[in-house]
Amino acid sequence: MRWLVLVAGLSACGAPKETADTGPTTTPPTDTDTEPTDTEPVDTGCGDTAPYVFAVTTSAAGLQKSPEGELLPAMLFAMEVIDDDGDLDHIGYELWYDEVVDGVVDTAVPAPVIGNTTLAGDLCGVGFVALNLTVTTDGGGMKYATEMDFALVASDARGNRSAPFVFAAWVPDENGDDATP
């Protein structure tokens, strides 16, 4: 199995609107109630196991350029994802958060931060990925110097999604510095 480490820059700017009339502009995650008949999953031929998020650690990442080029406080999410059938050569990720630290995050709504990456791995040979997600925030959705609940979901090349990995962490302050008390 190949161990791959990658870095992706994401933005939590323009915090998700509480009530979006026009719907999300980014691709919403697959509705779990919907059978994948209209969007046929890619048959990777590797198997059909879903990945799972093994661990997530977070840290303050200073000021970094957002995908829009704005210098903003950033938070690093280092996530380790495992998939027994090795089809993490294409990996998707979704991140939710909320301000009520109770170990519960609503992942039924579209994730405010999503992305995906294709890796140069061997087919069916990528069973472990260490993924560093750098998420910039303008303080709107992910509030500065605030402890928040987070949930991360990873998906494999076939589109199988992991269970949500829920954890609490402190968002960096307005300088991108660690705000953990």
Q: CA angle, 125 as apex, 121 and 127 as ends, to 5°?
A: 100
- Binding Ca ion (rule: CB under 5 A), the pick from 54, 78, 98, 177 is 98
The answer to the question of residue 85 lying near Ca ion (CB under 5 A) is yes
Please give the residues from 149 up to 168 whose contact with Ca ion meets the rule CB under 5 A.
Answer: 149, 156
Closest separation in Å from C-beta 83 to Ca ion:
4
- Binding Ca ion (rule: CB under 5 A), the pick from 53, 82, 83, 151 is 83
Neighbours of 152 (CB within 10 A): 25
Q: Total residues contacting Ca ion (rule CB under 5 A)?
A: 10
Closest separation in Å from C-beta 168 to Ca ion:
8
Longest distance between any two alpha carbons in the chain, whole Å: 48
User: Strand, helix or coil at 54?
Assistant: strand
- Contact (Cβ atoms closer than 8 angstroms) between residue 53 and residue 167: no
- Binding Ca ion (rule: CB under 5 A), the pick from 18, 34, 102, 120 is 102
Instruction: List all residues 6 or more positions away from 21 whose beta carbon is below 8 Å from its beta carbon.
Output: none
Residues near Ca ion (CB under 5 A): 49, 83, 85, 87, 98, 100, 102, 104, 149, 156
